[in-house]
Amino acid sequence: MDAETKLAQLKELLAEVFDLNAASAVLGWDQQTYMPPGGAEARGNQLSTLDRLAHVKFTSDEVGMLLEDLKPYAAQLDPESDDACLLKVAARNFLKATKVPADMVAEFSKASSQSMQAWQQARAEKNFALFQPHMQKIFDLRRRYAELFAPYDHIYDPLLDDFEPGLKTADVKAIFTALRPKQVELLKAIKSRPQVDASFLHQNYDGQKQWDFGVEVLTKIGYPWERSRQDKTAHPFTTSFSINDVRITTRIIPDYIGSAFFSTLHEGGHALYELGVSQSLERTVLSGGASLAIHESQSRMWENLVGRSLPFWQHFYPRLQEYFPSQLSNISLETFYKGINKVEPSFIRVEADEATYNLHIMLRLELEIALLEGKIAVKDAPEAWNTRMQEYLGIVPPDDALGVLQDVHWSHGLVGYFSTYALGNLVSGQLWEVMQAELPDLSGQIRRGEFADMRAWLVEKIHRHGSKFEPQNLVQRVTGSKIDPAPYMRYLTNKYSAIYGF
């Protein structure tokens, strides 16, 4: 059998694995949107079965032999070609997956499904005790998973690598160590100035009108509804079943207009990334984003660098006033712009302002590592969370729902994930500086409600590549350097010095 035939055979096997994972994703999406609570146990079994089958098929001897046989062929290819990258990423993923027993995959899938249902109840009742045994099992399973990859520099490394290929715990700690004092210094400067008014954001805003405005804006920025949809859920998320079927969700809060809109724009940024991947990568291991940090750079860019910018609202604010005349007709554009960018320590990460958001992530990263290391017991997580909130942000959550239970990630078993949010912020700043240099009229285009050039730039530089390149390499290709906090801090400082006058 020649190399081309073996490659075609491998691609078909990998496509079948892709299909199984996509079917699992459909069930996961339904679980968080439309599934009745009584379906939790059955859904856990279904997801467990699908995930086990996908794992067994991917880690089969047949896949392993084909990857081994194709090594000489891969060495002859252009290293940046689709096929060379597919073989490289598939081999890397295969090496990791073969270290994990299928039974562990099934056990983890079932545990995380049941854990998610328990989290929803615990959060609704503001009672961590209901979630504690499930969280304990999740961390026990993640610890067992990490130990499969020993020896390692840090037990957190294998988990971080699942979301940020090639990145080490020491790398993230170094980036955050450089970032933290600058963020604290910026916060001090802001706190020394008079606070801006954002009270008008907290009124009764009709939920359907909030929804309709978000859909209108998504449509205007070029969101392809024929390949996507939006639904409601407790915690906004994006999921992809195909390059041509990507789903987003949002959360509507009747007395706060910012939640639904910025969630919609954020998740829309994730979806545009998935929808922008080259069609040639469909049903392959390369069809998703490069990493969670690169994904977050896209969502946070649309949510904040675009969606909280003055040029954006110079275009969209008159339309928002038409939706909500009684609430906003007497609120000037300047007041609105400052209000949506108000800096104030808050409990909820997804609604945190740009100047405090990264501190939420640093808190979670430190707590997650300590839980994994066993330095903090799961039962003590609420207390540890509250202590860090006081240290980092000067506030203490009044209950578990606003504290340790606010994020869905641990219930899904997503340990190793949180740092990607802050890393994504940093990457968004790097990409933004380069994009502004290469599209000198970018602000003017946004002011006119024109987004085609921005979308095209992102597709060309980031989206079309899917996961062909590791995140650090992709960032360096576009910006000339690896992940660097400096551009993002320049962005924050320039923005908030203008808003707060320092």
| pLDDT tens-digit map of 299-323 | 999 999 999 999 999 999 999 999 9
Mean pLDDT computed over 144-158: 96
Q: How many helices and strands (H and E) does the chain possess?
A: 23, 3
Q: Looking at the predicted structure, is the pLDDT value of residue 358 above 90? A: yes
pTM above 0.75, yes or no: yes
Domain ranges in the chain are 3-125, 170-500
Q: Point out the residues that are catalytic.
A: 267
Cα–Cα distance list, 19 to 53, 196, 240, 333, 359 (Å) = 11, 50, 12, 48, 38
Integer CA distances (angstroms), 57 to 50, 225, 323, in order: 11, 33, 52
pLDDT, residue 234, reads: 84
d(CA 25, CA 166): 25
Give CA separation, 229 vs 232, 267, 426, in Å: 11, 11, 29
**449: alpha, beta or left? (left if phi > 0; alpha if psi -120 to 50):** left
Cα(first)–Cα(last) distance of the chain, in Å? 70
* C-alpha Rg value of the chain to the nearest Å: 23
pLDDT at 351 over 90: no
Coil, strand or helix at 81: coil
> Are the CB atoms for 159 and 373 separated by under 8 Å?
no
The pLDDT of residue 479 is: 98
Q: How far apart are alpha carbons 55 and 97 in whole angstroms?
A: 7
pLDDT score of 243 more than 90: yes
pLDDT, tens digit, 9 for 90 and up, residues 442-475: 999 999 999 999 999 999 999 999 999 999 999 9
- DSSP category for residue 200: G
Number of residues that make up the chain: 502
As a whole number, mean pLDDT of residues 108-129 equals 94
Average pLDDT over residues 332-343: 98
Six-digit token string for 90: 């598939």
For residue 195, pLDDT beyond 90: yes
Could you tell me if 378 and 328 are in contact, meaning their C-beta atoms sit under 8 angstroms apart?
Answer: no
Q: pLDDT of 254-267, one tens digit each? A: 999 999 999 999 99
The pLDDT value given to residue 350: 81
Distance, CA of 344 to CA of 354 (rounded, Å): 10
Q: What value, to the nearest 5°, has the Cα angle with vertex 63 and ends 60 and 65?
A: 105
Q: What is the mean pLDDT of residues 208-216?
A: 98
Q: Which two tokens stand for residue 462?
A: 């980031």
Secondary structure of 247-302 as H, E, C letters: EEEECCECCEHHHHHHHHHHHHHHHHHHHCCCHHHCCCCCCCCCCHHHHHHHHHHH
Fold of 170-500: Neurolysin; domain 3 (1.10.1370)
Instruction: Classify 436 as helix, strand or coil.
Output: helix
Is the pLDDT confidence value at 1 over 90?
no
The residues that bridge with 232 in the sheet, in sequence order, are 250
What value does the mean pLDDT take over residues 136-159?
96
Q: Are residues 304 and 287 in contact, defined by beta-carbon separation less than 8 angstroms?
A: no
Q: What is the mean pLDDT of residues 50-56?
A: 95
pLDDT at 235: 83
What residue type is assigned to position 232 of the chain?
Answer: K
d(CA 115, CA 133): 9
Of 67-71, 172-176, 302-306, 428-432, the one with minimum mean pLDDT is 172-176
Give the distance between the most distant pair of CA atoms in the chain.
Answer: 74
- pLDDT-derived band at 338, boundaries 50, 70, 90: very high
Distance CA 233, CA 239 (A): 13
**Mean pLDDT throughout 220-248?**
96
- Please state, for a pLDDT cut of 70, what percent of the chain lies above it: 100
Average pLDDT over residues 359-373: 95
CB atoms within 10 A of CB 65: 12
Distance separating alpha carbons of residues 484 and 302, to the nearest angstrom: 20
pLDDT at position 246: 98
